[in-house]
Amino acid sequence: MTDTPAFRRYQGPAGGWGSVRSLARHGLRRRTRTLAALAQLRRQNKPDGFACVSCSWAKPAKPHPFEFCENGAKATFWDLDAGRVDAAFFRRHTVTALRTWADCDLEASGRITEPLRYDAASDRYVPVSWEEAFAAIGRELKAIEPAAAVFYASGRASLETSYMYALLARLYGCNNLPDSSNMCHESTSVGLPRSIGVPVGTVRLEDFEKTDCILSFGQNVGVNSPRMLHPLQEASRRGVPILTFNPLRERGWERFKNPQSPPQMLGGAATRISCEYLQPRAGGDPAVLLGLCKALLELDDAARRDGGARVVDTAFVEAHTQGFDDFVALLRALDWDAIARESGLAPEALRGVAEVYARAESAILIYGMGLTQHRHGVDNVRLLCNLALMRGSVGRPGAGVCPVRGHSNVQGQRTVGITEKPELVPLDRLAAQYGFEPPRDKGLDTVGTVRGVVDGTVRAFVGLGGNFLRAAPETERLEAAWPKLRLTVQVATKLNRSHLLNGEVAFLLPCLSRIERDRQAGGPQAVSVEDSTACIHRSVGVQAPASERLLSEPAIVAGIAEAALAPNPKVPWREWVADYARVRDAIAETYPVDFHDFNARLGAPGGFPRTNGARERIWHTPSGKAEFHAVDLLSATGFDDAPERLRLITVRSNDQFNTTVYGYSDRFRGIEGTRRVLLMHRDDIARLGLAEGEQVSLVGDADDGVHREVGGLRVTPYDLPAGCVVGYYPECNPLIPVAHHAIDSHVPAAKSVPVRIKREVDPRRVPAGPAP
């Protein structure tokens, strides 16, 4: 792929013809089986089809004729790739040579089609039979202390696979079950239970039809959950004010043209999404949220003075919350100058938003990585809850807190036991169901795994999907330590960098994609996933598998389990693989409240919802009430400002899904042909004496004595707050210290990384890691 940069301002809306053109280009370039692709797209997110493998946004009960978006279609095309990564591919390329390839080129080589073992002597992957692979993995796992083995999961695997995988780890003897959620919405999973007693959002799709106001913080809807633009568009057309806080002007929150609406595509104007768009500093959200709460309080004071309607929902606050008085005292003591300085926004702007919010009966508060991936990510989530609680905007139609999750089943994986936190799992029930003593010690999360690999205490890594080495922080130390692992096993669909750094014994095991037909001894199989709004959907793949040698993920998990564990007649791995309905029966037995009659309810249009206390104003907190979080905090970064120090935000482009880089077009941001950019405010460029287009390095500025650097970045002026810079994830991950993570949730603080700029003496210097 080329790396010829071009920068042009994109004037179009999100969606629109740009999205149609982009898709057409992808379909052609990717050697996709085009007819197959079109047939598949029609089934995407339909009750009788497959759940999109891209984002986890809710799937409506009455889907559109084409219930997919540009990026969901790219993900489908990606799995339909006609290219093949097989033994012949590895005869052409050594693993060392492949390590110089870009992320995009690795995955673009095609689907992995046969089980492979790494052969160190020839530095190549060589074919292996499934039986041999399982036997060797079982042997190795048996020889390792359970506490030294890690079972990572990326958030794509189904509920059935995830349940089996978590059980495998616990039967083996550990809770080392980190998953991508540890790098993502774990701040939500820690913060929401403390504030409102549920680990997930409280909003369902129907609430968008009833809401009077939408606030959004740090989420990029046009790229990461484009189907959410449909309810947003409808809300905007109803006159619902949408107010957005994001350091960057993300096109999806500005305007949208629905590619599925012929009138709008043929000359109709794009729909304006946000009526107010404010650009706080990265990490400035505590100041924003407290400022909004303070402004509400001022409005409430004025209402009391003038005898107007109260702005604080006093009936709700009294009946349902705890800690309000302390919070009010904190708000009164806050100084507007400090709020303005830390948020980067004028008090008048915040007061203006508060006025709109105060007029709304029911409001939805949406957020994403812009809140969770900070040192104070958990505080961010809790302060957002405060804002909702002051207005009683939880547990009422059209109202609620709406974290937009990432991977298509990341939320569900937690629901069925993939977690390092034993207290979140019904261990006693598992003990009774399967007749064993489950491990009770806390397991390793992502941060713990990185540390354990670096210090040598982790000996084995099994990855159920994902690209751990690229997704995690502290890239260089992690990569340097990785080959010292005894065993690495990667279950994957496509080749990525995590497959190119191997333990002494290493296997690469290819699995079916969710879009593919899954036929087992008991006939064709369906799986299930949980969306962002906690609704459970059936997913049936119908595409012919990329190869006959692929196994399904449940079959791979069962294969490893049978080889690594002592036989246990109460765990019928074989029967489970033959008929996934039996896994669902097991899930229903372990989790009867949410999954009773699982098989009967599977396939309900719109999915079937899990229980959610906060939606009914039942608060599963220690006090039995929703809890205000009175924290005197204005910045989420966890570090002080310093003259040369900048706050690095790492973002996704419109042409990637996490570490899967589809191409080099970040259309909405006007960046084409390259990912090696550093977006900067013009004042910072001038202040630091840089020139537009100059190549610079970013150097970590964490004061921990470790040198971290990413070079070859092109200075690019951009509309963002001064003092903040933007680079792409995963290229910038070498700059994130493993210790720079959210307090309590351990989510790497990827949205405010302390960095400095170093001028490059030699502009040809090549950066660490694969180019570009």
Ligand X SMILES: Nc1nc2c(c(=O)[nH]1)N[C@H]1C(S)=C(S)[C@@H](COP(=O)(O)OP(=O)(O)OC[C@H]3O[C@@H](n4cnc5c(=O)[nH]c(N)nc54)[C@H](O)[C@@H]3O)O[C@H]1N2
Residues that bind ligand X (CB under 6 A): 54-55, 71, 107, 154, 156, 180, 183-184, 217-220, 223-225, 245-248, 250, 280, 282-283, 285, 368-370, 373, 404, 406-407, 464-468, 471, 491-494, 496, 511, 513-514, 553, 649-652, 656-660, 729-730, 732-733, 736, 750-751
Proportion of the chain in helix, strand, coil states, percent, rounded to 5: 40, 20, 45
Q: Which two tokens stand for residue 708?
A: 């971290």
Choose one: 31-39, 405-413, 497-505, 580-588; the region binding Mo ion (CB under 5 A). Answer: 405-413
How many other C-beta atoms are found inside a 10 Å radius of the C-beta of residue 354? 23
The one-letter code for the residue type at 758 is K
Q: Which two tokens stand for residue 660?
A: 């899967």
Q: Which residues pair with 255 in a beta bridge?
A: 272
From Mo ion, ligand X, none, interface partner of 40 (C-beta below 5 to 8 A by class): none
**Closest CB to Mo ion among residues 649, 713:** 649
**Closest CB to ligand X among residues 200, 492:** 492
From Mo ion, ligand X, none, interface partner of 311 (C-beta below 5 to 8 A by class): none
Shortest CB 410 distance to Mo ion, Å: 6
Shortest CB 405 distance to Mo ion, Å: 7
From ligand X, Mo ion, none, interface partner of 357 (C-beta below 5 to 8 A by class): none
Residue 371 touches Mo ion, criterion: CB under 5 A:
no
From Mo ion, ligand X, none, interface partner of 464 (C-beta below 5 to 8 A by class): ligand X
| HSE, side-chain direction, 13 A CA sphere, residue 63 | 25
Choose one: 266-274, 370-378, 401-409, 542-550; the region binding Mo ion (CB under 5 A). Answer: 401-409
Number of residues that bind Mo ion (CB under 5 A): 2
> Among 363, 447, 435, which residue's Cα sits nearest to residue 397?
363
Beta carbons of 539 and 528 less than 8 angstroms apart: yes
From Mo ion, ligand X, none, interface partner of 584 (C-beta below 5 to 8 A by class): none
**Closest CB to ligand X among residues 556, 587:** 556
DSSP letter string over 313-364? -HHHHHHHEE-HHHHHHHHHH--HHHHHHHH-S-HHHHHHHHHHHHH-SSEE
Among 403, 406, 711, 712, which residue sits at the site for Mo ion (rule: CB under 5 A)? 406
**Closest CB to ligand X among residues 71, 697:** 71
Q: Which two tokens stand for residue 198?
A: 């549920």
SS3 125: strand
Shortest CB 235 distance to Mo ion, Å: 25
From ligand X, Mo ion, none, interface partner of 274 (C-beta below 5 to 8 A by class): none
**Closest CB to ligand X among residues 486, 514:** 514
Shortest CB 407 distance to ligand X, Å: 5
SS3 296: helix
**Closest CB to Mo ion among residues 413, 525:** 413
Residues 152-191 as x/- pattern, contact with Mo ion by CB under 5 A: --------------------------------x-------
For the stretch 63-70, contacts whose Cβ atoms lie closer than 8 Å and that sit 24 or more positions apart, written own/partner, are 64/230, 64/260, 65/260, 66/41, 66/42, 66/260, 67/227, 68/41, 68/44, 68/227, 69/15, 69/19, 69/226, 69/227, 69/229, 70/15, 70/19, 70/22, 70/23, 70/226, 70/259
From Mo ion, ligand X, none, interface partner of 49 (C-beta below 5 to 8 A by class): none
Q: Which residues contact 428 (CB under 8 A, 6 or more apart)?
A: none
How many other C-beta atoms are found inside a 10 Å radius of the C-beta of residue 746? 22
Q: Which residues contact 11 (CB under 8 A, 6 or more apart)?
A: none
Residue-wise burial string across 522-550, b where 16 or more C-beta atoms lie within 10 A, e elsewhere: eeebbbbbbbbbbbbbbbbbebebbeeeb
Shortest CB 621 distance to Mo ion, Å: 26
**Closest CB to ligand X among residues 398, 541:** 541
From ligand X, Mo ion, none, interface partner of 353 (C-beta below 5 to 8 A by class): none
Question: CA quadruple 442, 443, 447, 451: dihedral positive or negative?
Answer: positive
If you ran DSSP here, which 8-state letter would residue 660 be given?
A: E
From ligand X, Mo ion, none, interface partner of 491 (C-beta below 5 to 8 A by class): ligand X
**Closest CB to Mo ion among residues 72, 146:** 72
Among all residues, whose Cβ is closest to Mo ion?
A: 406
From Mo ion, ligand X, none, interface partner of 697 (C-beta below 5 to 8 A by class): none
From ligand X, Mo ion, none, interface partner of 656 (C-beta below 5 to 8 A by class): ligand X
Q: Which residues contact 702 (CB under 8 A, 6 or more apart)?
A: 639, 708, 737, 739, 740, 754
**Closest CB to Mo ion among residues 133, 184:** 184
Shortest CB 371 distance to Mo ion, Å: 13
**Closest CB to Mo ion among residues 110, 406:** 406
How many other C-beta atoms are found inside a 10 Å radius of the C-beta of residue 567? 7
Beta carbons of 533 and 201 less than 8 angstroms apart: yes
Binding site for Mo ion (CB under 5 A): 184, 406
